[in-house]
C-alpha cells in the first residue's frame, strides 16, 4: 500500500501534501514511543503479538535514528514485500508462518489497503509503525530459528546438549538492502547439510501426498505373504504404489494375488523403515504401513528441527552415529569412507545426543563399571553367586580413590547393600570378557559416554539394537582404529595388531582430533535419495511435537 495514496484518500489534498513529506518521521516517532513504553515485565507486545526481539529491536532502531527499515515514502519497500512472501513460505522448512506474525501482518495490510478514510492519520501512522516492528521481529525470530532451531532441545531432554553456534542476526538484517539479498540471506541461514536439503524436499513431496488424500490403510488380519490371494492384497498393492515402493506399471490383472513384484516392494518398504526385510506383512510391518501420511509429514518436520540444532560445520572428517538407526558412519570430504552397525542405549538408559572430538584410543582397556551397572545389573547376580565377579574378571575396591584397597568379594555380605548404600568400585580387567572389548574410543563429555569394541558379537545380527547402557558398541572397532591411525606413520596396521595381541593397556593419542556427532534422527533422506523412517525408540518425537506445537502468548489484536 502506498503511503502517499493513503494520505490522499484519507485527508484533504493540501493536508495530504503537507503530511506526506514527514510521514516516515511520524512513523519513526511512533516506533520510538512503542519502544520507550513497551510493556514492562509483561514483555514487548505489538498488535497483541509478543515481540521476541526485545533485546535487539531498541538498539537496532536507535542506530537508525528510528528511520523505518521496511518502509519508505511509498509504503512497503520491495524488500518489505519480499519479507512478507518469505513468511508465507516458511512451511517449506517445517515452520509455521503464524509463529512469525504472518496472520497479524496480513490483517494489518488488509486494513491499510482500505481506501475509504476509515483510519485517522494517527491510526494510520500507528498501523504502519506496528507493521514495521512486526516484520523486524519476524526476521530476527526466523533467523534465530533457522540457525539454532525453534526449540531448545536441552529444555526437553537432559541428555541432549546443544552445540553453540551463535550469529549476529541484527548485523545480518543490516546487510539486507534489496529483495534479492533477502532471499539469499534467508537461504544462507538454513542448515547447509545435504541431509537438511533432502529432507526439506521430502517435506514438500509428503505435503503434496497429504493434499491428495494420503494412502489407504491396510486392514488388519493374518500375515500376508507371497502366494496369498486376498482382498487385503489389493489395498496393500495400492499402498505400495502410492508410497513409491511399487512402480505403477507392476500393477497386474490379478491385483488380489501377492506376487513376487509385490514382495520386492514390501521388502523395499521394510528396508526404508528399519524392519527385517523378509517380504512378510506381519504385525510390525503392517503397523508401519498404517502410519498416516499426515503423521509422516509431522515426523519429517520434527527431524528438520533436529538438523537445525546441529553445527553447520560438521568437520572435513567426522564420525556420525544415528542412534535411532543403530548406524555409524565416518565421512571424509563429503564421502562415506566407513559404515558399520552399532548397539546403542536401552530406552531407560538412552544414548545422549551431543558433539565432541575424539581425542585418543585405549587399547586393551580396563572397565571402571558405572554405578548403575553395578547396582542394577551386577548386584542381583552377585547375591546369587559371588563367583560371578571372578568369572567376569572383575576386582572389587572399597571406594573410588586411586589408592583404594582391593577387597575379597567373598568377605562381603552383599545382601546388606543396595543402590542407596554401595561403597564399592568394580574394575574389569583387560581380556576377552571385558565389556569394552579390545579398543575404547574416548571423547570428552559430561555423560561419560564413549565408543568401544564388544565381545558380544551376536547382537549385531538384530535389526533393533538398543541393548547397551548408553555407550556405543561397534561392529568393527579395529577397522575404525586402523583408519584413524592411517595418517600416523608410527602406527601401521601390524603394530596396532601387535599392541592389541600383547594384552597390555595402552593409550594412543590421535594426531588430529576428529569430531563425533551422536544424533537421533527418525526420518532422513539417504545418499541414494530414498526417504527413510525409523521407530521412535526413545519416545522423543512426541515431546518435540508438543514443544513445536506451542505458540507464543498473544493478546487481542487492536487496530488504531
> Do 265 and 340 have their domain in common?
no
> Do 284 and 320 have their domain in common?
no
Q: What is the pLDDT of residue 7?
A: 42
Q: What is the pLDDT of residue 116?
A: 58
| H or E element at residue 296 | helix 293-308
Q: What is the pLDDT of residue 552?
A: 54
Q: What is the pLDDT of residue 46?
A: 87
Q: What is the pLDDT of residue 11?
A: 42
Task: List the one residue out of 80, 64, 101, 71 whose CA is nearest residue 6.
Answer: 71
Q: What is the CATH number of the domain that holds 421?
A: 2.40.440.10
> Do 286 and 143 have their domain in common?
no
Which of 170, 195, 220 delimits the end of a domain? 195
Across the chain, mean pLDDT equals 89
Poorest-pLDDT segment among 44-58, 200-214, 488-502: 44-58
Total number of residues shown for the chain: 560
> Do 245 and 383 have their domain in common?
no
User: What is the average per-residue pLDDT within 468-495?
Assistant: 95
Which of 195, 217, 251 delimits the end of a domain? 195
Has residue 303 been placed in a domain?
A: no
pLDDT surpassing 50 at residue 554: no
| Alpha helices (H) along 404-459 | none
* Beta strand 466-468 pairing with 327-332: unpaired
> Do 371 and 484 have their domain in common?
yes
pLDDT surpassing 50 at residue 45: yes
pLDDT surpassing 60 at residue 19: no
Q: What is the pLDDT of residue 400?
A: 79
Band (213; pLDDT cuts 50, 70, 90): very high
For 285, the grid coordinates are 510391518
For 424, the grid coordinates are 564399592
> Do 149 and 285 have their domain in common?
no
Has residue 225 been placed in a domain?
A: no
Has residue 383 been placed in a domain?
A: yes
> Do 345 and 271 have their domain in common?
no
User: What is the average per-residue pLDDT within 181-204?
Assistant: 93
pLDDT surpassing 80 at residue 164: no
Q: What is the pLDDT of residue 174?
A: 81
> Do 280 and 398 have their domain in common?
no
> Do 324 and 453 have their domain in common?
yes
Has residue 191 been placed in a domain?
A: yes
Has residue 254 been placed in a domain?
A: yes
User: What is the average per-residue pLDDT within 123-133?
Assistant: 91
pLDDT tens-digit readout, 314-339:
999 999 999 999 999 999 998 999 99
Count of domains in the chain?
3
Q: Which of 5-14, 176-185, 285-294 has the highest mean pLDDT?
A: 285-294
Q: How far is the C-alpha of 297 from the C-alpha of 525, rounded, in Å?
A: 13
In this structure, the dihedral spanned by the alpha carbons of residues 143, 148, 149 and 155, taken in order and rounded to 10 degrees, is -130
Contact 103, 55 (CB under 8 A): no
Has residue 306 been placed in a domain?
A: no
Which of 168, 195, 222 delimits the end of a domain? 195
Contact 442, 362 (CB under 8 A): yes
| H or E element at residue 123 | helix 121-148
Work out the burial of residue 467: count CB atoms within 10 Å of its CB; fewer than 13 is exposed, 13-18 middle, 19 or more buried: middle
Higher pLDDT, 176 or 238: 238
> Do 322 and 462 have their domain in common?
yes
User: What is the average per-residue pLDDT within 510-529?
Assistant: 95
> Do 112 and 173 have their domain in common?
yes
SS3 state at 475 = coil
User: What is the average per-residue pLDDT within 59-84?
Assistant: 90
Q: What is the pLDDT of residue 10?
A: 42
Task: List the one residue out of 521, 62, 88 whose CA is nearest residue 306.
Answer: 521
Q: What is the pLDDT of residue 118?
A: 66
Q: What is the CATH number of the domain that holds 252?
A: 1.10.101
Has residue 457 been placed in a domain?
A: yes
Has residue 548 been placed in a domain?
A: no
> Do 443 and 536 have their domain in common?
yes
Domain that holds residue 13: 3-195
Amino acid at each position: 500500500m502506498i503511503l502517499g495514496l493513503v494520505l490522499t484518500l484519507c485527508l484533504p489534498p493540501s493536508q495530504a501534501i503537507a503530511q506526506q513529506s514527514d510521514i516516515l518521521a511520524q512513523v519513526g516517532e511512533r516506533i520510538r514511543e512503542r519502544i520507550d513504553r513497551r510493556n514492562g515485565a509483561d514483555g514487548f507486545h505489538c498488535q497483541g503479538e509478543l515481540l521476541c526481539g526485545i533485546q535487539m529491536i531498541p538498539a537496532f532502531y536507535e542506530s537508525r535514528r528510528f528511520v523505518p527499515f521496511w518502509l519508505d515514502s511509498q509504503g512497503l519497500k520491495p524488500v518489505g514485500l519480499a519479507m512478507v512472501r518469505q513468511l508465507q513460505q516458511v512451511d517449506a522448512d517445517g515452520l509455521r508462518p503464524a509463529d512469525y506474525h504472518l496472520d497479524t501482518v496480513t490483517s494489518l495490510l488488509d486494513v491499510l489497503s482500505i481506501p475509504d478514510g476509515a483510519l485517522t492519520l494517527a491510526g494510520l501512522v500507528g498501523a504502519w509503525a506496528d507493521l514495521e516492528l512486526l516484520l523486524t521481529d519476524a526476521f530476527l525470530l526466523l533467523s534465530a530459528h533457522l540457525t539454532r532451531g525453534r526449540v531448545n532441545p536441552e529444555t526437553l531432554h537432559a541428555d541432549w546438549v546443544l552445540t553453540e553456534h551463535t550469529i549476529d542476526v541484527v548485523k545480518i538484517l543490516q546487510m539486507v538492502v534489496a529483495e534479492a539479498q533477502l532471499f539469499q540471506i534467508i537461504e544462507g541461514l538454513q542448515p547447509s547439510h545435504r541431509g537438511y536439503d533432502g529432507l526439506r524436499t521430502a517435506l514438500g513431496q509428503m505435503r503434496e501426498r497429504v493434499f491428495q488424500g494420503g494412502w489407504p490403510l491396510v486392514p488388519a488380519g493374518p500375515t500376508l505373504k507371497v502366494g496369498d490371494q486376498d482382498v487385503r492384497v489389493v489395498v496393500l498393492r495400492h499402498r505400495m504404489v502410492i508410497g513409491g515402493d511399487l512402480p505403477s506399471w507392476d500393477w497386474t490383472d490379478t491385483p488380489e494375488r501377492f506376487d513376487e513384484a509385490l514382495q520386492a516392494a514390501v521388502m523395499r518398504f521394510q528396508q526404508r523403515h528399519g524392519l527385517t526385510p523378509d517380504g512378510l506383512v506381519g504385525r510390525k510391518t503392517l503397523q508401519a504401513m498404517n502410519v498416516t501420511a499426515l503423521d509422516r509429514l509431522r515426523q519429517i518436520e520434527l527431524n528438520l528441527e533436529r538438523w537445525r540444532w546441529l553445527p553447520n560445520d560438521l568437520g572435513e572428517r567426522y564420525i556420525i552415529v544415528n542412534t535411532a538407526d543403530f548406524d555409524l558412519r565416518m565421512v571424509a570430504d563429503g564421502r562415506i569412507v566407513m559404515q558399520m552397525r552399532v548397539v546403542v542405549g536401552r530406552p531407560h538408559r538412552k544414548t545422549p545426543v551431543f558433539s565432541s572430538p575424539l581425542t585418543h584410543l585405549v587399547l586393551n582397556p580396563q572397565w571402571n563399571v558405572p554405578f548403575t551397572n553395578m547396582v542394577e545389573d551386577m548386584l542381583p547376580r552377585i547375591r546369587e553367586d559371588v563367583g560371578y565377579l571372578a568369572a567376569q574378571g572383575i576386582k572389587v575396591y572399597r571406594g573410588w580413590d586411586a589408592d583404594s584397597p582391593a577387597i575379597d568379594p567373598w568377605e562381603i555380605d552383599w545382601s546388606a547393600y543396595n543402590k542407596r548404600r554401595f561403597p564399592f568400585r568394580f574394575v574389569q580387567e583387560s581380556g576377552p570378557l571385558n565389556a569394552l572389548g579390545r579398543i575404547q574410543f574416548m571423547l570428552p563429555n559430561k555423560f561419560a559416554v564413549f565408543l568401544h569394541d564388544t565381545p558380544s558379537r551376536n547382537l549385531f545380527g538384530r535389526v533393533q539394537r538398543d541393548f547397551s547402557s548408553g555407550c556405543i558398541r561397534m561392529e568393527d572397532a579395529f577397522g575404525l582404529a586402523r583408519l584413524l591411525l592411517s595418517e600416523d606413520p608410527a602406527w601401521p596396521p601390524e603394530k596396532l595388531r601387535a599392541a592389541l595381541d600383547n594384552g597390555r593397556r595402552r593409550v594412543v593419542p590421535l594426531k588430529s582430533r576428529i569430531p563425533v556427532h551422536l544424533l537421533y534422527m527418525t526420518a532422513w533422506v539417504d545418499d541414494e535419495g530414498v526417504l527413510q523412517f525409523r521407530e521412535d525408540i526413545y519416545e522423543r518425537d512426541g515431546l518435540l511435537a508438543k514443544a513445536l506445537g506451542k505458540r507464543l502468548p498473544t493478546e487481542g489484536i487492536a487496530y488504531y
